[in-house]
Amino acid sequence: MSELIPSFDFQAVFIVPWQEDFQGYFLIATMGFLISLSCGLIGNFIMLRRMALIGDAISHSVLPGLAVALFLSKSLATTAMFIGALVAGILTTVLIELIHQNSRVKPDAAIGIVFTSLFALGVILINVYAGEVHLDTECVLYGEIAFIPFEPLIDIGGREWFPGSVLRMGGVTLLVILGIVLFYKELLVTSFDPGLSVSLGISTRTTHYLLMGLLSLVIVSAFQSVGAILVIAMLILPGATASMLCSRLPAILWLTAGLCLPATLAGIHLSIWLDCSMAGAMVIASAVFFILAWLFSPRRGLLQQLIQKVRLPEVHNLTLDNSQE
């Protein structure tokens, strides 16, 4: 066991990495922050609409899209991969709808069938064309965020700043924020009360597909860094933590954004300490935040519930005493 978990040394875990390779860790932290910010923000709306598992399905099914795009374009050309994955993501939602509308198979089973099939197809494609496609099945599962510093940097204004993937993620994050700011009212109304939104003249369908498109975009761009399965955690955990602490949507969104940076940094240091997968450690850090909120949230935490359960008989007795008098 002692081999597995290295001894904790504050200096080595928190200070040395930044002194040695500031730029590398800065890039990783930026990427992690951007991914969890865009995922977390959009994840709030996904959760409100009870579509968390559609996100799961999309994140698995972008794989064949990536593989086909890579195979066709014979290069890591980002545009081709983006388009391939986006098409696969949208195809997933369409297929799920198709199966569940044209047969008695329930939506949950339809989701299960579609994403496993597409994911299997992707894994096979990658294995068969292993020589030609520069994509590793293991990385598909847990991402390669740690390799970001080794990507070539792109010139902006005469200085080399960020690699392409970080810039792209930044663009997607901006798009998500812009989308939420511009269509806030629409997203809010359609999430909580589809009936009202129809009577207000807001198309639930358009909003739904807008959100799905945005979701696919986010998942596709986060896919390479954090892998298929961990994206779901990025989508759900920050929003869930925030919603344990407050209940108004704007507050939840701000809190989600605020939680992203500490979770990312905690994840990075956890992975430095344990020398394990960085994306996995970021998810674990977010999960720890959620568990803390779950236990100690002043509004709806487990502890609070327990206190109330203990107090309830007291209050009850008190009112009984009052009524007897």
Partner 1 sequence: MAATFRIVFVLALVSGFFPQVLEAAKIGDVTETRVIEQMFRFLSLKDPSVRATVIGTTLLGICCGLLGPFIVVRRLALVGDTLSHAVLPGVAMGFLWNMEKDPLAIFIGASLAGLIGACAVNLIKQTTHLKEDSALGMVLATFFAVGICMMTMIQRLPTGNKSGIDKYLFGQAAAMNQEDLILLSVVTTVVLLLVFLFYKEFLVTSFDAGFARSIGFPVNLIHYLLMLLLAFSVVVSLQAVGVVLVSAMLITPAAAAYLLTDRMHRMLILSVLFGVVAGVGGAFLSFLSNNLPTGPFMVLSATAVFLAAFFFSPRRGLIPRWWRQRSQTQRICRENILKAIYHILEAGEFEEEGVTFSELSIRRNEDLLEVRPQILDLEKADFVTVSKSENRIYFTPDGWQTACSIVRNHRLWELYLTNAVHYAADHVHDDAEKIEHVLEEETVRQLEKQLNYERRDPHGKPIPTFADIEKGLPTARQSRPATGYMSKS
Interface residues toward partner 1, by CB under 8 A: 1, 3-5, 47, 50-53, 55-56, 60, 99, 102-106, 108-109, 111-113, 116-117, 119-121, 123-124, 127-128, 137-138, 141-142, 229-233, 235-237, 240, 243-244, 271, 274-277, 279-281, 283-284, 287, 290, 294, 300, 302, 305
Closest CA to 228 of 45, 36, 55: 55
Nearer to partner 1, 109 or 315 (CB): 109
State in angstroms the smallest separation of the CB of 283 from partner 1.
4
**Which residues, at least 6 apart from 278, have a Cβ–Cβ distance to it below 8 Å?**
28, 32, 143, 145, 146, 267, 268, 271
State in angstroms the smallest separation of the CB of 119 from partner 1.
7
Nearer to partner 1, 51 or 135 (CB): 51
Nearer to partner 1, 221 or 241 (CB): 241
Nearer to partner 1, 76 or 306 (CB): 306
163 bridge partner residues: 153
Helix (H, G, I), strand (E, B) or coil at 159: strand
State in angstroms the smallest separation of the CB of 319 from partner 1.
26
Please count the CA atoms within 13 angstroms of the CA of 28 that sit on its side-chain side.
Answer: 28
d(CA 108, CA 110): 5
- For 237, the enclosing helix (H) or strand (E) is helix 230-245
Nearer to partner 1, 67 or 187 (CB): 67
State in angstroms the smallest separation of the CB of 77 from partner 1.
26
User: H helices then E strands: how many in the chain?
Assistant: 15, 2
State in angstroms the smallest separation of the CB of 183 from partner 1.
22
Helix, strand, coil percentages (3-state) for the chain, rounded to 5, are 80, 5, 15
State in angstroms the smallest separation of the CB of 233 from partner 1.
3
State in angstroms the smallest separation of the CB of 159 from partner 1.
34
Nearer to partner 1, 46 or 80 (CB): 46
Q: DSSP class of residue 13?
A: I
Nearer to partner 1, 84 or 122 (CB): 122
d(CA 142, CA 103): 34
CA distances from 43 to 35, 142, 218, 242 (A): 11, 19, 10, 11
The answer to whether the CB of 60 falls within 8 A of the CB of 118 is yes
